[in-house]
Structure 1
Amino acid sequence: MGNVNKNIEEAARATAYVMERHEEIKNNPLRQKYHFEVPAGWCNDPNGFSILGGKYHLFYQHMPYVSEPGDYKMYWGHAVSENLVDWEDLPVALAPVDECDGGGCWSGCALELDQKVYLMYTGLDARNGMQQGQCMAVSDDGIHFTKTEDSPILADTLCEADKKDFRDPYIWRQNGEWNMILGSTKDHFAQALLYRSNDLKNWRFINTMAESLGELGSVCECPNFFEIGGKHILFISPHGLNLRKSVYLTGNFDYPAGKFFWDTYGEIDWGMDYYAPQVIKDGNGRCIMIGWMNSWNWMPWCDGTYYTSKMGWCGGMALPRELRLDELGRLHFEPVQELKNYRTEPAEMVSETAGEEGISIETADNSHCEMIIDFNLKGTTAEIIQLEVKSNEKEKVLVNLNLKLGEIEFDRSHTFDHLKSKRRCSFRSVSETACRIHVFIDSASVELFTDDYMTCMTNTVYVPENADRIKIRGIGGMVKILKVQSWAIKKN
């Protein structure tokens, strides 16, 4: 089998290095308390998010020896959980040590078949000018993986698509055969390609499953395809689409033709730090999504530096979310119910009014908490409802609900981090008389949900430990607060 053991050997070496570094950084105050975070080194896209052996497995893009992106080659990290909140780090799964992936083991998926675990991923082929090809690794125990001799098992697009952008396989089983969708581009327009196979190794091109004339950007990355309530949904992470970086399309799939026709187009998360989500269907029929919580330097608000990199790590995942589809074809993204098991020390405030000076919110731990805030819009005269979090006398993060303009703004420009940026999106309350915001605060992030979980904003935030003040205020009038429910979030 040639150099098949090189992967296991280098993965073990990388794992030992990462866990040694983890011991040095694990108590840093900027380490997240209840989000998954890379133990050390760099982390980006989730890969192979799956249920294997009855447990949730998360593989992810990983660079063990460095903590910021650059010329270093990509590995696959690995973690496992029984509840989507408590994650156990497992050994590194893939290392870029073979000819088929000597330029890096890039994004892909995982599946279980005949008591074996298969990883399908994009390798940059060191023999062929780092051309992208689809590779496979297999494991008997789901932890230690061996590359297959015939990788790359798909080295050509088999169509007119650009062979330089041909990546991120996602595989599912349908009608007795394996289906694989790949992100691609043609003439600088993003598209997704569909292939089919009977044995996971011999693939035939079926069709350009989804194509565009610019509305999906220039390149389609990290496609995911699944079904909810009789409708098919395609996730893509586009390049060159300005402020959009995680898009969903809802529509119908013509299986014989291999063609997807969409009628609804939406953004998965409007924050500055959410990319490449993957979806699984669990044993209870829930569609669960997880995405990378950080940003690439080609995004408009990122300057290419990463605050915690100098401390030895960078990257993690946003909270897992359960998806539901409404009658208009829109997706709702609600944090998974398992998070409720980590609520402690509940507090409640009812029937308050706030003006420009604001009122303070005290939870048991303002730096690691969850809040559900209900506003009475009928009794509110303010033009802007403002939520201030992670603040002290110098730093602060502002969430502005502009009722006059119908938009919501996340403003982290008042922090000491280099990412002094703002992000806005449309705000449409599901009720004319009431509005709810659901907020999760961790050591280095704020996740915001509103519009019945149709609008999400995920953002990393870096402030001192003492920046833990929370306030609500009305700008240009008074805001009527119906109720504030809060909990400290604590893991054992």
Structure 2
Amino acid sequence: MAEITDIQVEDMILTPGFNENDTEYSVLAVPYEKESVQITVTASGENAVLYIDGREAESGEPAEVPLEVGKQVIPIRLEDRAAGTESSASVSIYRKQSAASYKTEAWRDQYHFSPLEGWMNDPNGLIYYNDQWHLFYQYIPLTRAHSDYEKHWGHAVSDDLVHWEELPVALAPDELGSIWSGSTVNDPENKSGLFAGPGENNLLAFFTHMNSSGQVQSVAYSEDGGVTWEKYAGNPILTQEDDPLHDGAFRDPNVFWCEEAGKYLMVVAGGPVRIFSSDNLLDWEFESGYNGNSPFRPEGVGDIYSECPDLFPLAVDGDENNVKWVYTGAGRWYMIGDLKEIDGHWSFIPETGAISMTMAPDSYAGVTFKNADGGRVVMVSWMADWGTIQNAPTDGWNGTYTLCYDLSLRTTEDGIRLFQEPVKEYETLRGEPLIDETDIVIEENGGNILNGCRSDQFELVAHLEPEESVAEVGFRMFVGTGQEMVVKYNPQTSVLTMDRSRASAAASEYFGGSSSYTIHKNDDGSVDLRIFVDKGSVEVIPNHGEIYGAMLVFPNYAGIGMEAYSTGGDTAADITIYPLDSIWREDTAEEGEPAELYLSVEDGASVNIGDEFTVYSRVAPETADQAVEWILDDPDQTVAVAAQDDISITLRVEAAGDFSLTAAAKGGSVTKTVSIHTRENPFRTNLTDWKTSGNGTWSLTEGGYQGITGHDGFAVGSETFENGFRLEMDVTVTEGTAFGVVFNAEDNPGSGAYMVNFDFGDDQYGKQFRWTEFPYYGDESNNAVARFEDSYTPEIGKKHHVELTWLEGRLTYVIDGHVIFDGVEDKNAGHVYSGGHVGVMGFNSTVVVNDVYAVPAAGLTGLQVSGAALSPAFDKAQTDYEAFVDCGTETVRVTPEAGSGVEITVSGEAVESGSASGEIALAPGENVITVTAASWNGEKTYTISVYRLPFEDVHQEDWFIDSIHYVYQRGIMIGHNEREFDPNMPMIRADTALVLYRAEGIATGYSSGLFGTADPVTREQAVTMLFRYASRKGYAVDERTSLDRFADAGQVSGFAEEAMEWAVARGIISGKYDQTVLDPQGYASCAEYAAMIMRFMESYQ
């Protein structure tokens, strides 16, 4: 019978090497300039007919095969007509795109490593030798889909950890199974005996063979620097019978030379960690294990479980005399400890618990390069989360790696900690900065300082110094298409957040949500950030590597704007943004011609009458002229142009119909046309600017607002309801598990909200309504639950009408007229959500909502008086307020705020929320203003007592204005006369005695027996009188503080020292001239004394 006996592809290495049992092969990618390739197939059998790529060919003779750009599978077929049999094989060849287009697919990262095609996950076998960094990786060449049983080891090399060249596949599956993760070591002394002799190119690869019978450890060897490999004939070298822990999760061998032990160690995990040792790299002995089944585990050490184990030494603070060992679990967490021999067993002794290495989901399987010069330790991880990566929308390939990170141990206030910083080699990619500013201010209500910075391939370096009042400062990326990736920092809580809930145009139901981590501040309260943005990913590194976070994103390709913002105050900043070069090609002037054009709106999109929307363009490659010409074809006159420039056009929708929009690149060489449909808005609601989060895609359909959700997916309106509300909506669940109403919600309800849902499933939650709190940890003990056996069951595909009321902490929920909850309180009184957004959610469901209307309960959400502050500050639970103004303020205006639908009056006059009332005249003394807020549940009344001072010499801007109001309204100090207070006049003892008249004679005379009625009172005398008064009243007067910080402390008289120390401790007196002097012998003015009286009385209230 005729057989194929050999296949060769024009000076290229076939992967796997030809074997009669293999039928699928591949070779390295060929350059764009190579339009054909010669394939030589040798076959046995005189009567056989050979076909290569569908054309008849001669055995042993090269056949010319033309190549298209991209991947093609060349079929090989051998017909034995005499025997009536046929055999076949195939060779996969990838012809690269042109230099300008190579690896420019949507969301292909430009300075992170990814394979040209196929599936990639864990990095394997990382090693530095012969002046090159070798990167092996889990790889499936012919598909972007994952499979446990088709794993290969791919191979790439780099001179600088930045630019990578793919080499032929290193290891392919065989009869022992798929090639799973592992490591490589250099064997220059030929301790394994697998090589002809000693040699610097002797490499060993240790890996897990995986098949249906389980996981075993095997080895392969290479004599040409890792390009070609032979598998050891004695494989496997460790079987599950060799595992004393008898745990089937037995994989990912990490082998390294341990100088202290004088032998090689292997760390194996997948489940519990095991350590083996060997002198010859082939025969391995058990040393220690880390679960309850281990025959030896160091005393006092608990269980350690992980995948992708790594164990390596690092010098603390660079001190080679202080070295610790670090164990990392899949690059997600680490332990610091020691590696030493205990009772004859080499063991890892952790000195810390597991500490996080990452703050975001998309990094896993991180391991380090062996053999780097100078003890350098570099780690790289797979940028993915197993739960979502198979849903990535990339075309032709699936898998990207994080940046390479230098690891170091540093001493911190929390102890020794691992730091991870991007390797400095990335700095070679930096271009001229888009912005390079020091001491720039991100103003709370100012313009966008990053306006004009446009890129999706850059590094942002920022030093941020927020004011004390700042609630949040951050950066938005991928701006301009209704999407944004947000990196934000809360100075009040020190929490850093990566929020991609609105970042992706594709697969957002899987690649959404946010991640947060509490970071450390610098000594001066500032923080440092580095943000690396690539086409399909974002990495954030705070404070020189105390943690890092990686997220995959799939934004609209035309969204490349940036914004900086600060809320609650201003933030001083140093900001530099470097565009980063692609590692896949060198752009030249010739390659800068337009090759492709992208628009931020999809062909066939629908927009609503009354909307105003902006379409952005993007020309590839980056070096091409980005200017386009806009051409509008609108015979129905459905839209009007509101604004346009070279990269965007803003359209206002005025009528229903259809139109087309074309963008033409410079010279008209590349164009892009989209057709757009205009319509009445199918979603009827009074809630605006809906925000989505969690796992789901939300869009307008003819039936309303539709969510297709995986796990929990949320959509909420932007309005905030602080005093309760009444909500009505229609809900249809067309398929899936559950729907719910969320309320009192944060922007991302998964981080904080109430939810009432119905579950259509058959598990423990099935066929019941639940009132649940988010975050939800699976425990119903603190959640109200109503079961359905005695109630009403919604149906899939049926429209249901929902009414939900939240008032004074009680929930009422009605569906189709059936009362489910009737005024129920949250029984967890310590965890009540009292205000926030309202909206909907789905769980693994398709949900459509419409006619969504929410009306707030009676009550205000804000209240202001012109020219004065409310006392106390506005609080929704407070109804009575005071405000204080000076004599010159003859009128005030009141500005109330409330939710849409609440009717407001100010002193009987109807006022719109957020608008000021008419002028209200003020008489000296108290003026009572009444504000009412009415809604569906009745009316709520607020009063403001505005006190107008009669004194013409006291003004609103005076530092003592509050003190004068305080003493005047209480009748303590009533002024020099009806129109004058004389705030700067020194207090005399008679006036002081009058003020303290009710203080039971504490103002005594001089030691001479005289009272000194007309004598001015010094500051130390005024303080001493108050001290004696407090003592007589029985108040606590034992507080003291040193006066040494005041320059004139020595001028305090002996009789007043104790009183002065007490007054400073309680804040009754704070010093003058920026609190540097006490001025004890200076006279106390009326204003100063009023301030002392106010502070004194408030101190003891």
1:374, 1:109 → 2: CA distance?
39
Larger Rg: 2
SS for the counterpart of 1:344 is coil
Aligned pair partner of 1:478 in 565, 569, 575: 569
1:371 is the counterpart of 2:371: no
Q: Is the 8 A contact 1:132 1:163 kept in 2?
A: no
Change (3 A) 1:369 1:210: farther
- How big is each residue's C-alpha offset from its partner over 1:66-113, in whole Å with a ceiling of 9 and x where there is no partner? 1122455111110000000000000001111x222x2x1000001121
- How big is each residue's C-alpha offset from its partner over 1:313-335, in whole Å with a ceiling of 9 and x where there is no partner? 11121111111101222011011
2:96, 2:24 → 1: CA distance?
17
1:440 is the counterpart of 2:532: yes
Q: Is the 8 A contact 1:184 1:193 kept in 2?
A: no
Q: Is the 8 A contact 1:8 1:146 kept in 2?
A: no
CA RMSD of aligned residues (A): 2.6
1:152 is the counterpart of 2:152: no
2:213, 2:26 → 1: CA distance?
23
Partner residue in 2 for 1:23? 96
How far is 1:32 from its partner? 1.3
Give the aligned residue type for 2:279.
N
- How big is each residue's C-alpha offset from its partner over 1:431-468, in whole Å with a ceiling of 9 and x where there is no partner? 34211111111111111010331121111111122111
How far is 1:295 from its partner? 1.5
1:252 is the counterpart of 2:333: no
Give the aligned residue type for 2:377.
C
How far is 1:16 from its partner? 4.7
Partner residue in 1 for 2:279? 198
Aligned pair partner of 2:425 in 320, 338, 349: 338
Q: Which runs of no fewer than 5 residues in structure 2 stay unpaired?
A: 1-13, 30-70, 72-91, 189-200, 316-322, 587-1101
1:294, 1:485 → 2: CA distance?
28
1:453 is the counterpart of 2:545: yes
How far is 1:362 from its partner? 5.7
1:75 is the counterpart of 2:152: yes
Aligned pair partner of 2:310 in 212, 221, 224: 224
Aligned pair partner of 1:138 in 188, 207, 221: 221
1:313, 1:303 → 2: CA distance?
12
Aligned pair partner of 1:392 in 451, 465, 480: 480
Q: Is the 8 A contact 1:386 1:399 kept in 2?
A: yes
Change (3 A) 1:279 1:210: farther
SS for the counterpart of 2:386 is coil
Give the aligned residue type for 1:82.
D
Aligned pair partner of 1:110 in 179, 184, 189: 184
Change (3 A) 1:99 1:363: farther
Aligned pair partner of 1:316 in 392, 400, 403: 400
2:24, 2:265 → 1: CA distance?
32
* Structure with higher strand content: 1
1:36, 1:195 → 2: CA distance?
32
Change (3 A) 1:488 1:296: same
Within 5 Å, give how 1:46-195 maps onto structure 2. 46-70=123-147, 73-96=150-173, 98-100=174-176, 102=177, 104-114=178-188, 115-125=201-211, 129-141=212-224, 142-156=226-240, 158-174=242-258, 175-185=261-271, 191-195=272-276
How far is 1:360 from its partner? 4.0
How far is 1:26 from its partner? 2.4
SS for the counterpart of 1:339 is helix
Which of structures 1 and 2 has the larger relative contact order (alpha carbons within 8 angstroms, sep 6+)? 1
SS for the counterpart of 2:459 is strand
Structure 1 residue runs of 4 or more that deviate by more than 6 Å after TM superposition: 210-217
- How big is each residue's C-alpha offset from its partner over 1:202-237, in whole Å with a ceiling of 9 and x where there is no partner? 1111111588999978x5210001001110000113
The 10-residue stretch of structure 1 (456-465 or 404-413) with the greater mean CA deviation from structure 2: 404-413
Partner residue in 1 for 2:385? 295
Change (3 A) 1:463 1:204: same
Give the aligned residue type for 2:460.
M
Q: Percent identity of the aligned residues?
A: 24
2:478, 2:564 → 1: CA distance?
12
1:206, 1:374 → 2: CA distance?
48
Give the aligned residue type for 2:232.
T
1:317, 1:41 → 2: CA distance?
14
Give the aligned residue type for 1:343.
R
How far is 1:263 from its partner? 2.1
SS for the counterpart of 1:455 is coil
Q: Which runs of no fewer than 5 residues in structure 1 stay unpaired?
A: 186-190, 238-244
Change (3 A) 1:151 1:6: farther
Change (3 A) 1:16 1:344: closer
Q: Is the 8 A contact 1:31 1:443 kept in 2?
A: yes
Give the aligned residue type for 1:113.
D
1:474, 1:423 → 2: CA distance?
20
Change (3 A) 1:276 1:45: same
2:477, 2:430 → 1: CA distance?
19
2:234, 2:117 → 1: CA distance?
32
1:376, 1:399 → 2: CA distance?
16
1:112, 1:428 → 2: CA distance?
40
Give the aligned residue type for 2:245.
A
How far is 1:293 from its partner? 0.9
SS for the counterpart of 2:163 is coil
1:44 is the counterpart of 2:56: no
How far is 1:156 from its partner? 2.3
Aligned pair partner of 2:393 in 294, 299, 307: 307
Change (3 A) 1:173 1:362: farther
Give the aligned residue type for 2:372.
D
How far is 1:285 from its partner? 2.8
1:207 is the counterpart of 2:284: no
Q: How many residues align?
A: 461
1:335, 1:55 → 2: CA distance?
18
How far is 1:363 from its partner? 7.6
2:372, 2:437 → 1: CA distance?
36
1:383, 1:45 → 2: CA distance?
39
